[in-house]
Amino acid sequence: MKLGEIYSYLDTISPFHTQEEWDNSGLQVGSFEDEIEQICLCLDLDNELLQTLSPHTLIIAHHPLIFKGIKSLNKALYPSNLLTTILKNDLSLIAMHTNADKSHLNRYVCEKVLGWSVLEQSDFVCVCNFEGSLASLALHVKERLGLKYLRVSDSTKPIKKVALTTGSGGDLINEIDADCFLTGDLKYHTAMEALANGLSLIDIGHFESERYFGEALREDLKNLPLKVIMSNSKNPFSYI
C-alpha cells in the first residue's frame, strides 16, 4: 500500500490541518510513493525500536521526531542519530501530535481508560462528571492509570465536574470550567494560580497519560489492509 494512501486516510480521521501552529505533525520521513508493508504505532521513537522494524515499515508516532529546524546532522546525537537509522533501514515516519490529541487521545483516555462519559470537548479539553472528594477522585485515577503516586493541589471545593488534557496542559488552566483539572507536567506557579482561582489539580504525568496513543488509534487502522503493531514506549523518568 502506498504511503500517500495511508496519509490520506489518516487525514480523514484526524485532519493534519487541525494541529497547532507550533506543531510539526505530518510526514516527517519518506515519500508518498513509498510502498508500505506494515505500520508501527508508538508514542516516541528510540534506537531499540528502530532496530526491530523490518524495511518498508511506516512508523506513526505521537511526538514528532523533527520539531525544530535541523541545520546539521550529527549522527552521534538525537534526533539525527534516529533519522539516520530510519533512512538506512528504509523506514518511513508520520507524526500525529496535536491533531490526534483533539481527535482521539483525550477522549479515549476519558472514556476507555478512566471510564467516564465526555459531556463536552473543546480542542484539547474533555469535561466529564465526577462527584466526590479529591481523595476519591485521585484513588479512581490511580487505579485506572496504574499509578502508585499522584501530585495533587486541593482547592477544598466539592468536585462535580472534572476536565482532562493528556500530556502537558498547564497553560490551559484559565480555560477550564470544572472543579478539578487532570493533566501532566504541572508547574509550581500553575498550581498556585489554580488554587487561588478555586481549581483543584491532579498531575497525571505526561508519559502516563499519553501512552495510550497507539490504543486510541488502532481501532481506526483496522480498516487498512496492513499489519499494525504497537510498541510500548519507555518513560524517560524513573523513581528511586
Check residue 223 and give its pLDDT. Answer: 85
71 pLDDT higher than 90:
no
* Per-residue pLDDT tens digits for 190-236: 999 999 999 999 999 999 999 999 999 999 999 899 999 999 999 99
pLDDT > 70: percent of the chain: 100
Return the SS3 of 94: strand
* Per-residue pLDDT tens digits for 114-128: 999 999 999 999 999
Give the model's confidence band at 69: pLDDT under 50 very low, under 70 low, under 90 confident, else very high: confident
Return the SS3 of 237: coil
CATH topology identical between 3-97+213-230 and 100-210? yes
DSSP one-letter code for 157 = P
Give the model's confidence band at 77: pLDDT under 50 very low, under 70 low, under 90 confident, else very high: very high
CATH code for residues 100-210: 3.40.1390.30
Bridge partners, residue 128, by sequence: 118, 162
Check residue 72 and give its pLDDT. Answer: 87
Q: Residue 122 is placed in which grid cell?
A: 473543546
DSSP one-letter code for 155 = -
Q: Phi-psi bin for 143: left (phi > 0), alpha (psi -120 to 50), beta?
A: alpha
Are the CB atoms for 152 and 134 separated by under 8 Å? yes
Return the SS3 of 31: coil
* CA distances for 68 relative to 75, 102, 138, 155, 236, angstroms: 17, 22, 36, 38, 20
Check residue 73 and give its pLDDT. Answer: 87
- What are the sequence ranges of the domains in the chain? 3-97+213-230, 100-210
Are the CB atoms for 142 and 152 separated by under 8 Å? no
Average pLDDT over residues 134-151: 97
Q: Which residue has the cell 508547574?
A: 187
pTM of the model: 0.95
pLDDT > 90: percent of the chain: 95
Give domain 3-97+213-230's CATH superfamily: NIF3 (NGG1p interacting factor 3)-like (3.40.1390.30)
* Per-residue pLDDT tens digits for 10-29: 999 999 999 999 999 999 99
